[in-house]
Amino acid sequence: MQPWSPSIENDLRHLRNEWDPIGVADDVQDEYDCMLAPMLQRLCGGANETEIGEFLRHEVEEHFGLGSLGLRPEAMAIGNWRGV
Q: Report the candidate in 70, 14, 65, 68 with the shortest Cα–Cα distance to residue 39.
A: 14
Task: Please check whether residue 76 is in contact with residue 57, taking contact to mean a CB–CB distance below 8 angstroms.
Answer: no
* Torsion angles phi and psi, residue 71, rounded to 5: -85, -25
Mean pLDDT within 39-66: 89
pTM here is 0.73
SS3 for 63-77 is HCCCCCCCCCHHHHH
More confident residue, 30 or 75: 30
Residue 42 has pLDDT above 90, yes or no: yes
Mean pLDDT within 2-26: 86
**Average pLDDT of the chain, as a whole number:** 82
